[in-house]
Amino acid sequence: SQQFIWPMAQFGQIINIYQRAKASSVRVFDLMNERGTLDESAGAPDLVVPDGTVKYDDVSFGYGEETVISNVDLQAERGDTIALVGPTGAGKSTVLKLLLRMYDVDEGAIRIDGTDIRDVNLRSLRRSIGYVSQDPFLFYGSVKENIAYGTFDASGEEIVSAAKAAEAHEFVVNLPDGYDTMVGERGMKLSGGQRQRLSIARTILKNPAILVLDEATSHVDTETEALIQRSLARLVREKTTFAIAHRLSTIKEADEIAVLDEGRIVERGTHDDLLALDGLYANLWRVQAGEIESLPRDFIERAIR
Ligand code: ATP
């Protein structure tokens, strides 16, 4: 799958996110762990997510005076993947921070199955959302404990089954102590691809209705990349997924690509729609296509038309 991966890295370089991808994923992760700075009304009810429909309704937001997100409308149903692309600083991470309620919208609303996320308690909101990055967090503890992190009542069997679904089982059983191998800070060093598959296993076990994927770049080999893609594909199947996309595979298969520029959605549609539209997205691809020989021929023909 190499030919499908490196062109996306190139895309990332062009729009200057490739270099910042790592910092960006760390930033999102820090935020996931930050305590909510927002006041919750006392005794706010738990979020329940029967369907997994996420709707951004005319959302605007600024960290300060300046508006960073303007009039964003997005809607995703269970099984959908929405990819957010755009130049650095366009507001991709901010759009996802609003879903996690790191900040509240200034105007408009975000609703999950019809419920305004400001009307439920934060714990239940964040329990409903899984986060996968390529630089995931492992604490010092066993592989087993790391997979079960966030799921309190997981059985050994469920842990193994999640690891299998994440394409992690095979490497785990080959570690010195299998599932009891200590990893993280002072433990066994795992590769980026291995850590990512553990984090996917953790998310599979947690089984959230909604997924946030930050596909920051990493340098895994082709085979690992294929394994990660396969486990991710399995994971997103019955979820509502928002992905900050750096990779061709995600882009191409997304139900909708929202191209952000200065906080506005300037283009939206499928990969094919956007190529046909011949705007910002298509231009980025055209620039790239001139430098690439390994893309499928029909793709190049469309891109350079
Ligand atoms: P990147 O691809 O570089 O991660 P992005 O598209 O995710 O960029 P955001 O991180 O959402 O963009 O940033 C959107 C805008 O908001 C930028 O102008 C950024 O400088 C600003 N911004 C982001 N976080 C904060 C913050 N905590 N306080 C103030 N401004 C912020």
Instruction: Give the pLDDT confidence of 99-134 residue by residue, as tens digits.
Output: 999 999 999 999 999 999 999 999 899 889 998 876
- Tell me the CA–centroid distance for residue 62 and ligand 1, in Å: 10
Kind plus residue range of the DSSP H or E element containing 56: strand 54-61
Residue nearest atom 9 in ligand 1 by C-alpha distance: 91
Beta carbons of 128 and 184 less than 8 angstroms apart: no
Q: pLDDT per residue over 193-247, tens digit each?
A: 888 889 889 998 998 999 998 765 455 677 777 777 788 788 888 899 999 876 6
Q: Ligand 1 pocket test: pick from 61, 88, 244 the residue with the most ligand atoms within 8 Å of its Cβ.
A: 88
Nearest alpha carbon, ligand 1 atom 1: 88
Q: How far apart are CA 50 and CA 209, in angstroms?
A: 9
Which numbered atom of ligand 1 lies nearest the CA of 23?
A: 4
Q: Compute CA 128 distance to the chain's CA centroid, rounded to the nearest angstrom.
A: 14
What pLDDT does residue 20 have? 39
Residue-level pLDDT at 226: 78
pLDDT at 137 over 70: yes
Pocket test residue of 19, 68, 72, 106 for ligand 1, highest count of atoms within 8 A of CB: 68
Alpha carbon of 68 to ligand 1 centroid (Å): 8
Atom of ligand 1 nearest to the CA of 69: 14
How many angstroms separate the CA atoms of 281 and 271, rounded? 9
Name the DSSP class of 188.
B
Cα–Cα distance for residue pair 153/233, rounded to 1 Å: 26
Q: Would you say 130 and 210 are in contact if contact means Cβ atoms under 8 Å apart?
A: yes
Q: How far is the CA of 300 from the centre of ligand 1 (A)?
A: 33
List, for residues 251-292, the tens digit of each pLDDT value: 778 999 999 999 999 999 999 999 999 988 887 676 655 544
Q: Whose CA is nearest to atom 18 of ligand 1?
A: 89
Q: How far is the CA of 36 from the centre of ligand 1 (A)?
A: 18
For residue 51 the two structure tokens come to: 């369907």
The backbone torsions φ and ψ at residue 71, rounded to the nearest 5 degrees and listed phi first, read: 50, 50
The amino acid occupying position 36 is G
Spatial separation of the C-alpha atoms in residues 245 and 188, rounded to whole Å: 30
Q: Is the pLDDT of residue 304 over 80?
A: no
Give the DSSP letter of residue 117: G
The angle subtended at Cα 86 by Cα 297 and Cα 252, nearest 5°, is 35
Complex ipTM over 0.95: yes
Q: What is the mean pLDDT of residues 174-191?
A: 92
For the chain, give the number of residues: 305
Q: Any residues with Cβ below 6 Å from ligand 1, and which?
A: 17, 20, 24, 63, 68, 86, 88-94
Tell me the per-residue pLDDT of 50-91, one tens digit each, with 9 for 90 and over. 999 999 999 999 999 999 999 999 999 999 999 998 888 899
Q: Assess contact for 234 and 215: CB atoms under 8 A.
A: no
> Are the C-beta atoms of 246 and 216 separated by less than 8 Å?
yes
